[in-house]
Amino acid sequence: MTKKVVIVGGVAGGATTAARLRRLNEEMEIVLLERGEHISYANCGLPYYIGEVIEKRENLFVMTLQNFRNWYNIDIRANSEVLTLDRSGQRVEVLNRLSGEKYWESYDYLVLSPGAEPIRPPLSGVQHPAVFTLRNVADTDRIYNFIRENKPSSAVVVGGGFVGLEMCENLHRRGMAVTIVELAPQLLTIFDKDMAALVQQYLRSQGVGLYLNSGVAAF
Indicate which residues carry an active-site annotation: 44
Cα atoms in the Cβ-side hemisphere of radius 13 Å centred on 179? 11
- 203: which residues sit within 8 A by CB, 6+ positions away? 165, 168, 180, 187, 210
Cα atoms in the Cβ-side hemisphere of radius 13 Å centred on 18? 31
CA distance linking residue 206 with residue 185, whole number of Å: 20
How crowded is residue 26: how many other Cβ atoms within 10 Å of its Cβ? 8
Q: Which residues pair with 179 in a beta bridge?
A: 156, 209
SS (HEC) of 123-148: CCCCCCCCCCCCCCHHHHHHHHHHHH
> Are 116 and 11 spatial neighbours (Cβ–Cβ below 8 Å)?
no
CA distance linking residue 8 with residue 151, whole number of Å: 38
